[in-house]
């Protein structure tokens, strides 16, 4: 769960999505150029296991699966916060939140 502001920080997919209506990486919406090699042009958004350092979750101290995130998906879901910045996105007062 990521807020609108942090959605820009997410990595881009190399292959185009087959579903074009909501895809960010199609050629129609200006997201991709024709004959663009995403492996070469998107170095900042690309996963590199040797240089990326995954931090620990600030709540449960397990490794976070996404670069740039401070909270794991389980804790972000339970608390109703953004996984990257920790901004409250959902009021969980009347919910029974569980990870299973």
Query: Within a domain: residue 1?
Result: yes
C-beta of residue 80 within 8 angstroms of C-beta of residue 88: yes
Query: Within a domain: residue 88?
Result: yes
Query: Within a domain: residue 94?
Result: yes
Query: Within a domain: residue 27?
Result: no
Partners of 88 in beta bridges? 81
pLDDT band (50, 70, 90) for residue 99: low
Give the contacts of 24 (CB within 8 A, at least 6 positions apart).
12, 17, 31
- b/e code 2-29 from CB counts within 10 Å (16+ = b): beeebeeeeeeeeeeeeeeeeeebbeee
Tens digits of residue pLDDT in 8-64: 887 666 665 566 666 655 555 555 666 777 667 666 555 666 666 778 999 999 988
Query: Within a domain: residue 23?
Result: no
Query: Within a domain: residue 31?
Result: no
Domain tally for the chain? 1
For residue 95, the enclosing domain spans 1-8+36-99
Query: Within a domain: residue 26?
Result: no
């Amino acid at each position: 769960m990521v807020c609108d502001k942090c959605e820009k920080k997410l990595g881009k997919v190399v292959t185009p999505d087959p579903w074009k209506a909501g895809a960010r990486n199609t050629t129609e919406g200006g997201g991709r150029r024709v004959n663009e090699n995403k492996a070469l042009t998107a170095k900042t958004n690309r996963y590199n296991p040797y240089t990326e350092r995954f931090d620990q979750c600030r709540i449960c101290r397990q490794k976070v699966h996404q670069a740039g995130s401070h909270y794991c998906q389980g804790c972000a879901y339970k608390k109703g916060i953004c996984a990257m910045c920790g901004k409250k996105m959902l009021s969980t007062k009347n919910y029974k939140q569980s990870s299973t």
